[in-house]
Amino acid sequence: MSYRPPPQQRSPTSPYSTQQGHYSPPAASPASRYPPQQQYNGHPPPQRQYTGTPTNYSPQVTGYFDDDRAGLLQHSAPAPASTPYGGGYNHPLERNGPPPPMDSRVRIQPDTMRGEPRKLGYRKTVRHVQLTQGNLVLDCPVPDKLLRNVKYTTGEEFTHMRYTAATCDPNEFLKNRYTLRTHNYGRKTELFIVMTMYNEDDQLFLKTMNSVIKNIAHLCSRTKSKTWGPDGWQKATVCVVADGRTKIHPRVLKVLGAMGVYQDGIAKTKVMDNAVTAHIYEYTTQVMVDRETGKIFGSDKGSVPIQVIFCLKEKNAKKLNSHRWFFRAFAPLLNPNVCILLDVGTRPSGTSLYHLWKAFDRAPYIGGACGEICAELGKGWTNLLNPLVASQNFEYKMSNILDKPLESVFGYISVLPGAFSAYRYRALKDIAPGVGPLSSYFKGEALHGDAANAGIFEANMYLAEDRILCFELVAKKGEQWLLKYVKAAKAETDVPDNLAEFISQRRRWLNGSFFASFFATWHFYRIWTSGQNLWRKLLMTFFFIYNFVNLVFNWFALGNFYLTFFFLTKASVPTTYQTMVDGQLKQETQQTSVPDPFYGHGEIAFTFLRELYIMVIIVIVISALGNRPQGSKMIYWLCVIIFALLMLVMLYVAGFTIWQTVPKSVSAWKSAWNLFQTSPAFRDIIISLGSTYFLYFFSSFLYGEPWHMFTSFIQYLALLPSYVNILMVYAFCNTHDVSWGTKGDNGGESLGAAEVTTGKDGQQLIKVEIPTEKEDINQNYEKFLRDLAVPEVKKASHRDAKTKQEDYYKLFRTRLVLCWMFSNALLIVALTSDAFTEWVATHNPNAQMSYNPYLTFIFWSVAGLSAIRFLGSTSYILLRLVFG
């Protein structure tokens, strides 16, 4: 039998009779529902106090409803406390005041008011609700079916979904007195996970969400941990940020609705004439949706409660803005220890998040960390049948074996991928207003906006904003934060499987990394103003020199690759040149140490292939300047095939030279060392191939992961010339394009407005209208007709600020491409000229053997850089074995 409060306890503003309606009191003390949490530093965290219904309890209804089907919970959030700034300038407002007890609120249960609601038309209803500290906050009951077969069936976070209409910028979230449930409950947030998304479908969303749920379940299973355990879910919060209400995939909303996180028909686009910038849904879900069948599973499948914040941005404002909602709006309220960044579509393994968190727990000086990102290979590795996927798989693997361990040893990882990385929140805080890692990180949002004064260098640099964040974190003035690679943390991600998408993706990656690397190298001296110790400063200085050398080689990669092909093929056939002897021109022929690989036709074949190489480069430049990859698929695929054939010729010539030079008998092997002195071409080829391909094999076996060498190595070799030529040409020819590949179309159907009204007691209320009547639809249609009847006023076209900015970007693109192309062309012309050939011939230590000093320089440079990568990779695995 339900409890009915006496008439004098009902709201004086309620339109319902005092003889109607039932009130269900709050449940008994939830002490049994919420087991005590772990101790923090010897003291329990502040907990929201739940008490049973007191004897003299008098509920206060702070709003009234005209629709008995709404069933909305009205509450009063805690007033903000005025406290000094602490721990950086990311806390413009600290809210340490305890939330009111549950008994000071009244929940109006649905379907208990027997009075008829006041209606407008047939279905258009009006509700009046009181603002929460000036903000529209609604607590909506979840379906009964959602609470079946779950562990917790009582408690506000399980029985009600909360909706908050944010009408401010993320930076003003705290100042506008918004709040979050986790903060109100006084829980300590150890792990704050953000999942950013754009228009990914439900399959990609579930791939990431279900993996996160399994990772949190793993944290709860660590019963011997001082931090985690059965109640560990209370210390982890998942934040999903969708970039644009009109961009999100409809099936993703259905998935979130099935989990109880989202409800349709609740959100509004305006509150008190203020445009809503983000729709924030909060719910502690206990179910997960199966990716294959779409069925819902609860604790029977190992699911644990997950505190979810779903931020649905009203407009599409790019990924940086999504991260700003996470770091500037939500994180200051929860003040987490570790923040983990994930992209929807990335699937972390079952223990990855624990291993990332453990790196911060074991070393207080770690400011950021990343794990190993692997290409998704599909069932039975069937994705490797696509050579584009196989080449990327090899690229990812070797980067995680050679590059990331090397950078981790130095303490500075050039990029922590935004798709799978973690940061200590305290390390990210600014040291002054507008000065610090986060402020530098978010500068790119303004540069990619409509600001006409955005510099093209900075705009390209912030295409790789995660590289800027890594540099700012390590170079933070007066502090000593390091970055670490955690090999035990693994995650899968889907890689582009078609050429057009691949080229477009690498355009942003290459331009962003080039300009960001140049920025970090140019400002390397800031390491000496940080709080790093002297030994670490010296190590990082050496590392920046190493990066500078790589940067120079990347700039001349186009010319170097052609010169390698030119000299390698030219050295395989006899060279004829003219020289002046006693005042007369004479032709001399320099023989090679091995026979012609094409058995007498090498000169003709190599001349044709070199001309073909130059022709393909010209085609790529023209296509990159005028066409999108999506519209020139056949041209780009033809260029890829030609470059693969050229690479095959290079490998054939190198292999033929080695086979013809190596000893063929046991007795000859005794003097094999003399070959390095008598055959410089053989020596250079052996050193170059050994320092790259042999290094790949050895390091892969050393790390216990050799399979990519057998499944993806050949595909990578075939596409390597395309990486150097096609991708770099397209990237530099499109430096004026600083977009992220997503369009900012923010038009969409309005969700309605929440208007202000005054209640009978003088309180300010929000009137929410839900138009569903046919009459209103007709009125909207008539408005369209009236608007169309008004002639459009034509305006004279002028070159606005945005057009001027685009012209400036294109002019910069032209200058950069000309500088890059002519510097590489000058290098090629100088080193392939007759003058250089004659100079080499006169300075050849062995006139009977072909010799090229530049090719020797290239091969030895590759060997030197590879040696540094190998030493760093080996040092990492040794340090990991010793220190864990």
Catalytic residues: 466
From CA 354, how far away is CA 371, in angstroms rounded?
11
Kind and range of the H or E run holding 568: helix 557-570
From CA 746, how far away is CA 582, in angstroms rounded?
80
CA 506 vs. chain centroid, Å, equals: 14
Q: Tell me which residue has tokens 């943390």.
A: 489
Nearest Cα neighbor of 282 from 432, 398, 419, 179 is 179
Strands 753-758 and 764-770: antiparallel
Residues in the chain: 884
Which backbone phi and psi does 768 adopt, to 5 degrees?
-110, 120
DSSP per position, 307-374: EEEEEEESS--HHHHHHHIIIIIIHHHH--SEEEEEETT-EE-TTHHHHHHHHHHH-TTEEEEEEEEE
The three-state secondary structure class of 557 is helix
Helices (H), 707-773: 707-711, 713-722, 728-732
Number of Cβ within 10 Å of residue 212's Cβ equals 24
Q: Tell me which residue has tokens 């049994």.
A: 32
Which one-letter amino acid corresponds to residue 719?
L
The three-state secondary structure class of 423 is strand
From CA 16, how far away is CA 12, in angstroms rounded?
10
From CA 156, how far away is CA 500, in angstroms rounded?
49
Helices (H), 591-727: 602-626, 633-661, 666-669, 675-678, 680-689, 695-702, 707-711, 713-722
Which backbone phi and psi does 882 adopt, to 5 degrees?
-85, -50
From CA 864, how far away is CA 553, in angstroms rounded?
13
From CA 402, how far away is CA 391, in angstroms rounded?
16
Angle between helices 680-689 and 853-883 in degrees, nearest 10? 30
Q: Which residues have a Cβ under 8 Å from the Cβ of 242 and sit 6 or more positions away?
A: 197, 198, 248, 252, 310, 311, 312, 313, 322
